[in-house]
Amino acid sequence: MKNYPIFFLLMLFSLTTVAQQYAGNWEGKLNIKGRKLTLIFHITPLSDNNYSVTMDIPEQKLFNSNANSVIATDEKIEIKFSAFGINVNGTLDGADKLKSVLEQTGASFQFELKNKGAVTSGKTFNRPQTPKPPYPYCIEDVEFDNSDGSIHFGGTLTYPRGGAKYPTILLITGTGSQDRDENIFDHKPFAILADQFTKAGYAVLRVDDRGIGKTSSNSSQLSITTNELAEDVEAALWFLKMRKEVDTSQLGLLGHSEGGMIAAMVASKRKDINFIILMAAPVTDPLDLAEEQSADFLLSQGVPKSTVNEFRPMARDIITAILSAPDNATALKNASDVFTKWEATHSRKTIRLTTGVKDEKSMKTFIGRLVSQWTTPRNRYFMKLQPADYYKSLSCRVFAVYGEKDFQVNSETNSKLLTQYIDPAKLKIRILSGMNHLFQACKKCTLSEYSDLEQTLAPAFLEVMGVWAKEAVKFD
């Protein structure tokens, strides 16, 4: 399935419990703009009314994804994918069919699921870099609350054996709700980084995002703002400062993608952060980021640069039209006006290659999804942020790493801005050749390749991080 850039999301899905009659492999076809996606649910009974469930979407190379909310009765089942505002509602039609509706950001799709029989295991990935026990260090599952008790967090704390105080790093995940290992396509980059840093003499805390794993949530994922995620980091720092293993004079943050910007947000307001590590962190204005990400994604799909350049102004204008509208009805009208004006002056080939629009119906679908996406509380808040203010206010040391082939956060644009905002004496930047947004050594350097590659983190990236880890702090 081809993805179109303005509403491009890296989707991680989740599922958990249901009722006895739902056991088995359920499979269906979801029709989106004439393109069919296969959805497969593997539902395994554990005990009475308690099941483990995984979901596969082969066309998007998503496999073995776990859920976070399922409500089942004798006839109906509701499955919530809270990380992306997705609900699946099914009604039994006989013993082996579910008449189903999938809803996401205002759009709904009807489809049918059929029970294909006994549960089979999902796709098996080879991820040789994921650490396995026994570990040569201490590892604890930890839990803590935020200051008002409204959010309960679950995470993993690792630290060297020896009973001393250690330099400490808090890991912050990127956009979209993820578990403590930042699991994507069975890649667990944060587990690998925690392992490397702990072996190098650090204590490391990694935490489940709101609504994922052992961390609770008091709102939908599409309503959680960047500021609330920064508050979650503050709660984790408070927890760390209570731990006897933590050297509070050498406390740092590591953030990937949006997590890097969150690290800068938090560190800019505190004096107790000794360093931050930015992995593919966005620095540019959010509207510039959205435009550039859309363009770079199209280029990664082989769309000619001249065609992409025709698309870029419209991408920017249509997002601006949506965000400036007082309500969704006005946003739909304004966005349609922008698109219609652009459409009138560009070839059908350009329109199809950049947006997928081929007729009136697909245009309305395209615009409707854009409005649904950009008007969520989360995205409205994010688009108002001024990242430059955070980076300019940093007083700690900053180590920034970018992948040269990253089409989500452009390495050249964002690293250049860092040199303008941060004291050069406190800044170190590395742009790693041939690496993507996940810091894999990519070949095609496309979205689909994230799951194809066995490698989770390139050895050259880990070497760079290892060298920095040895030089950055003082060890007793």
- Residue 122 — pLDDT band, cuts 50, 70, 90? low
Closest CA to 229 of 247, 253, 198, 250: 253
Question: What's the pLDDT band for 152 if we cut at 50, 70, 90?
Answer: very high
Which tens digit of pLDDT belongs to each residue from 410-466? Answer: 999 999 999 999 999 999 999 999 999 999 999 999 888 888 899 999 999 999 999
Sheet holding 86-92, edge to edge: 62-65, 50-57, 35-47, 24-32, 107-115, 97-104, 86-92, 76-81, 69-72
Q: How far is CA 369 from CA 83, 355, 381, in A?
A: 17, 12, 18
The answer to which of 69-73, 99-103, 424-428, 438-442 has the lowest mean pLDDT is 69-73
Percent of the chain residues past pLDDT 90, beyond the cut: 63
- Say how far apart CA 448 and CA 459 lie, in whole Å: 21
Element (DSSP H or E) covering residue 342: helix 328-343
User: What is the percent of the chain where pLDDT is above 70?
Assistant: 91
Give per-residue pLDDT as tens, 358-368.
Answer: 899 889 988 98
State the pLDDT at residue 283.
Answer: 98
Q: How far is CA 228 from the centre of its chain?
A: 16
pLDDT for the residue numbered 6: 38
- Res. 51 pLDDT band, cuts 50 70 90: low
Higher confidence at residue 268 or residue 16? 268
Q: Provide the pLDDT confidence category of residue 369 given band limits of 50, 70 and 90.
A: confident
pLDDT at 20 over 60: no
Residue 393 pLDDT > 80: yes
- pLDDT at residue 403 above 90? yes
Q: What is the pLDDT confidence band of residue 82, given thresholds at 50, 70 and 90?
A: low
Q: Say what the pLDDT of residue 8 is.
A: 35
The pLDDT-based confidence of 45 (bands split at 50, 70, 90) is low
Residue 360: burial class (beta carbons within 10 Å; 0-12, 13-18, 19+): exposed
* Region of poorest pLDDT, from 12-26, 53-67, 106-120, 142-156: 12-26
Tokens of 408: 């989500």
